[in-house]
């Protein structure tokens, strides 16, 4: 398993990014966590529908997305807000999607990040098709897809990996192995020693990295992105992390795992590790920390205001988005709703 | 103009589209050198190359899912599923993603793509090769479902489907692939999706059908004419969006309706037509709506298949019942 930053925040390998970039990504980690905690709070207050926390997976998402170009494609899931935001999907739009509003699936025009996939596993092949189209059109754009350990059990994982292998598509498969698929542990998903080794079967590179190590995730993803852009095909990265929270706000992990396990996970906290590193490097102090926390908090509060200022979708929004133009039979029903 | 079969017209349509629009590509199992199991893509790989006529692994969900990604990224893929009975592994992709991305993203992303699949029975094939499950596609918001019955319509509808900004399930009745030839214009033309075709005008009874059953209905209309019964034959051509007005206007004129489908009767698309007539033309009816359909059985294999397929005689008898009522 690739590791660059140890638990104490000391380098055990070469830092792939400079201090300024690390400070920028530290801000992103903090902001992602602020969003995530707000998500759980808002759900408890009845202001969001079901929320799927990403707590503990911040480095896996921020570190991987940081290795992309702004114009690269992303196809991710309901637990990947950190990665999606890094690629330009605004917090307020993410909040909107979690509040039960179709307009949360509509990122700004220049952001080619698909709305979060809710079904498990079917979306990986979309990233294959997208990146294949870019290859056929001769662009240098690649696609990254995020999924969990549970998704690797789906048949569509095989079809996506197989197509990517056969057609050498510029795709990065980023598996966040967070230990659980709702209640089922990783061992119930596969008898393989690692998820990364599955890449061998598809003729592509696979690598297992410490998913709570920002530097390792970044380095591994950057290599995969470079390979894809160079026409050398797809890569499967297994970022080993831990789902500190429940599957969703409807889930109770107390029914299937020892709370002690969650407490132990705190020792591997991905953000604290980067903080310690910056402190060792003389690039962190409490004043800066306070400003980082304050800015994250303000940004997320502003996003909540924006998301909640919108009136609910109209029947026009719903009927008008089934097809490019409303068909006559659909218009007849639409008029019944209006009257 | 050239005389083409329905199969030949489809090949002509694909070649026309590939020639006209660089974004169009064909993707599926054995679509390259083999030209597809029904030879619909015959010769296309030689003309357009293997980057635009792409042979894939045997994986229907993968074909549709990859084509979906291509469509989202700006291409216009035409995916071929070898038989309708093999489309079900891709059903999740079609229902959950292809049909929904426009709504899910509120128009930010869309999937302009065509999924072609040969359908229907009557030729003694192995199990799963004779399906008529159009209702499971017609039921899904976001999809258009098209089923041509003539060579002219096949080319024009396929070109319209490829040009459609929304995904189209394009059903090809196997029994009609090489049944007749007709004059088909050369070059580009389209037949509008969502418009039924009145093949024969009549005044006594409306017979509404689609796909391969047009063959039996045509024979039935001729037999009824011999006895002085004037039947109006409607070939729907598109199931979604449904051309309700053509059906309703016809039934308002004739006062009688027979709906003919090859699919099993219960919850088939014919039930939708009958319900529509009940909603919008009940007071024009002089007799109950008749349905002629396959039985609610799995379509039998070769030796007993003929006991399943709706016959010309059954259609004639149903039309007569509406007149005797």
**Segments making up each domain of chain A, as ranges:** 19-308
Q: Does A132 touch chain B (CB under 8 A)?
A: yes
Chain B 129-148, residues with CB within 8 Å of chain A CB atoms: 141-142, 144
Asked if residue B190 is part of any domain, the answer here is no
In this structure, the dihedral spanned by the alpha carbons of residues A127, A133, A138 and A141, taken in order and rounded to 10 degrees, is: -20
Q: What percent of chain B lies above the pLDDT cut of 90?
A: 99
pLDDT tens-digit series, residues B49-66: 999 999 999 999 999 999
Token readout for B287 is 């007799």
Q: Closest Cα to residue B72, out of A37, A115, A158?
A: A115
Query: What is the model's pLDDT at position B43?
Result: 97
Task: Specify the CATH number for the domain of residue B258.
Answer: 3.40.50.920
Asked if residue B204 is part of any domain, the answer here is yes
Residues B149 and B75 occupy one common structural domain: yes
Chain B 198-257, residues with CB within 8 Å of chain A CB atoms: 240-242, 244-245
Rg (CA), chain B: 19
Contact (Cβ atoms closer than 8 angstroms) between residue A225 and residue A142 = yes
Chain B, nearest residue to A162 by Cα: B57
| Nearest CB neighbour to A129, from listed B67, B96, B144 | B67
Looking at beta carbons, which residues of chain A come within 8 Å of B75? 133, 136-137
Among B184, B219, B246, residue at a domain's last position: B184
Ranking A105-114, A329-338, B275-284 by mean pLDDT, the lowest is A329-338
Residue B1 pLDDT level (bands cut at 50, 70, 90): confident
| Structural domains counted in chain B | 2
Neighbours of B179 (CB within 10 A): 15
Q: Domain span at residue B126?
A: 2-184
Averaged pLDDT of chain B: 97
Q: Which CATH number is A19-308 given?
A: 3.40.50.970
Residues B161 and B232 occupy one common structural domain: no
Query: C-alpha A101: how far from its chain's center?
Result: 20
Asked if residue B113 is part of any domain, the answer here is yes
Token readout for B80 is 């071929």
Query: Over 90: is that where the pLDDT of A267 sits?
Result: no
| DSSP symbols for B12-56 | HHHHHHHHH-TTEEEEETT-STT--TT-TTTTHHHHH-TTTEEE-
Token readout for A310 is 């919108």
Best of B27, B59, B73 to disrupt the A interface (most A CBs within 10 Å) is: B73
| Nearest CB neighbour to B104, from listed A115, A133, A317 | A115
Please provide residue A100's backbone torsions phi and psi, each rounded to the nearest 5 degrees. 85, 50
Token readout for B299 is 């379509």
Query: Over 90: is that where the pLDDT of A262 sits?
Result: no
Residues B11 and B159 occupy one common structural domain: yes
Token readout for B81 is 């599923």
Q: Does B167 touch chain A (CB under 8 A)?
A: no
Contact (Cβ atoms closer than 8 angstroms) between residue A23 and residue A275 = no
Mean pLDDT over residues A265-270, rounded? Answer: 91
Neighbours of B74 (CB within 10 A): 13
The span from the CA of B276 to the CA of B253, in Å, is 16
The span from the CA of A197 to the CA of A207, in Å, is 7
| Nearest CB neighbour to A122, from listed B71, B93, B166 | B93
Contact B65 A125 (CB under 8 A): yes
Contact B245 A128 (CB under 8 A): no
Residues B93 and B236 occupy one common structural domain: no
The span from the CA of A331 to the CA of A308, in Å, is 30
Residues B148 and B114 occupy one common structural domain: yes
Contact A321 B68 (CB under 8 A): no
Q: Does A136 touch chain B (CB under 8 A)?
A: yes
Query: What is the model's pLDDT at position B325?
Result: 83
What is the helix (H) or strand (E) element at residue B25, kind and residue range?
strand B24-28
Query: What is the model's pLDDT at position B310?
Result: 97
Q: Does A326 touch chain B (CB under 8 A)?
A: no
The span from the CA of B294 to the CA of A149, in Å, is 45
Query: Over 90: is that where the pLDDT of A30 sits?
Result: yes
Chain A, nearest residue to B140 by Cα: A322
Query: Over 80: is that where the pLDDT of A22 sits?
Result: yes
The span from the CA of A178 to the CA of A185, in Å, is 9
Spot the catalytic one: B97, B107, B129, B215: B129
Residue A339 pLDDT level (bands cut at 50, 70, 90): low
Task: Specify the CATH number for the domain of residue B76.
Answer: 3.40.50.970
Beta bridge partners of B144: B168
What is the helix (H) or strand (E) element at residue B72, kind and residue range?
helix B60-72
Looking at beta carbons, which residues of chain A come within 8 Å of B165? 323-324
Residues B159 and B252 occupy one common structural domain: no
Largest Cα–Cα separation, chain A: 68
Distance between B269 CA and the closest CA of chain A, angstroms = 15
pLDDT tens-digit series, residues B72-84: 999 999 999 999 9
Is B129 known to be catalytic?
yes
Looking at beta carbons, which residues of chain B come within 8 Å of A139? none
Among B150, B184, B218, residue at a domain's last position: B184
pLDDT tens-digit series, residues B100-155: 999 999 999 999 999 999 999 999 999 999 999 999 999 999 999 999 999 999 99
């Amino acid at each position: 398993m690739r590791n660059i930053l140890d638990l104490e925040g000391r380098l055990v390998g070469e830092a792939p990014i400079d201090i300024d970039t690390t400070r920028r990504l530290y801000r992103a980690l903090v902001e992602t966590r602020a969003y995530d905690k707000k998500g759980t709070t808002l759900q408890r207050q009845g202001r969001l529908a079901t929320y799927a926390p990403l707590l503990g997976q911040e480095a896996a998402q921020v570190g991987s997305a940081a290795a992309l170009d702004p114009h690269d494609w992303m196809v991710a899931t309901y637990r990947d807000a950190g990665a999606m935001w890094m690629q330009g999907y605004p917090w307020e739009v993410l909040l909107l999607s979690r509040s039960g509003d179709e307009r949360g699936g509509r990122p700004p025009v220049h952001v080619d990040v698909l709305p979060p996939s809710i079904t498990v596993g079917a979306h990986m092949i979309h990233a294959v098709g997208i990146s294949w189209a870019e290859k056929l059109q001769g662009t240098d754009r690649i696609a990254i897809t995020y999924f969990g350990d549970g998704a690797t059990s789906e048949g569509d994982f095989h079809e996506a990996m197989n197509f990517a292998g056969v057609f050498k598509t510029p795709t990065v498969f980023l598996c966040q192995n967070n230990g659980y698929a709702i209640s089922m542990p990783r061992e119930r998903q596969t008898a393989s020693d690692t998820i990364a080794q599955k890449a061998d079967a598809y003729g592509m590179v696979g690598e297992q990295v410490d998913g709570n190590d920002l530097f390792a995730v970044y380095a591994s993803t950057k290599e995969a992105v470079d390979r894809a852009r160079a026409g050398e095909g797809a890569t499967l990265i297994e970022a080993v992390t831990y789902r500190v929270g429940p599957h969703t706000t409807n889930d109770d992990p107390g029914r299937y795992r020892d709370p002690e396990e969650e407490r132990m996970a705190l020792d591997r906290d991905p953000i604290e590790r980067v903080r310690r590193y910056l402190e060792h490097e003389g690039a962190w102090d409490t004043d800066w920390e306070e400003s980082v926390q304050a800015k994250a908090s303000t940004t997320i509060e502003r996003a909540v205001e924006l998301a909640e200022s919108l009136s609910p979708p109209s029947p026009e929004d719903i009927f008008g988005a089934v097809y490019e133009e409303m068909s006559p039979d659909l218009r007849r029903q639409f008029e019944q709703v209006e009257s | 103009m050239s005389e083409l079969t329905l199969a030949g017209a489809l090949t002509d349509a694909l070649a026309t589209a590939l020639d006209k629009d660089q974004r169009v590509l064909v993707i599926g199992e054995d679509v390259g050198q083999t030209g597809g199991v029904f030879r619909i893509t015959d010769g296309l790989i030689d003309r357009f190359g293997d980057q635009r006529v792409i042979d894939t692994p045997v994986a229907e969900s993968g074909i549709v899912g990859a084509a979906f990604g291509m469509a989202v990224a700006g291409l216009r893929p035409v995916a071929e599923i070898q038989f309708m009975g093999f489309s079900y592994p891709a059903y999740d992709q079609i229902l959950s993603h292809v049909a929904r991305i426009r709504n899910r993203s509120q128009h930010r992303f869309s999937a302009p793509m065509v999924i072609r699949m040969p359908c229907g029975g009557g030729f003694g094939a192995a199990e799963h090769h004779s399906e008529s499950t159009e209702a499971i596609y017609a039921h899904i918001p976001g999809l258009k479902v098209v089923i041509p019955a003539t060579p002219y319509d096949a080319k024009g509808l396929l070109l319209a489907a490829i040009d459609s900004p929304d995904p189209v399930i394009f059903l090809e009745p196997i029994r009609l692939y090489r049944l007749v030839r007709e004059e088909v214009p050369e070059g580009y033309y389209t037949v509008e999706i969502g418009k039924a075709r009145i093949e024969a005008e009549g005044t006594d009874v409306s017979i509404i059908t689609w796909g391969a059953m047009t063959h039996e209905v045509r024979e039935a209309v001729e037999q009824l004419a011999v006895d002085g019964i004037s039947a109006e034959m409607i070939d729907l051509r598109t199931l979604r969006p449904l051309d309700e007005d053509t059906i309703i206007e016809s039934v308002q004129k004739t006062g009688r309706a027979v709906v003919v489908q090859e699919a099993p009767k219960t919850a088939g698309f014919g039930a939708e037509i009958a319900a529509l007539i009940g909603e919008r033309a009940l007071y024009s009816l002089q007799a109950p709506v008749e349905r002629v359909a396959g039985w609610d059985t799995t379509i039998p294999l070769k030796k007993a298949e003929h006991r399943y397929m709706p016959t010309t005689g059954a259609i004639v008898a149903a039309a007569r019942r509406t007149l005797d009522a």
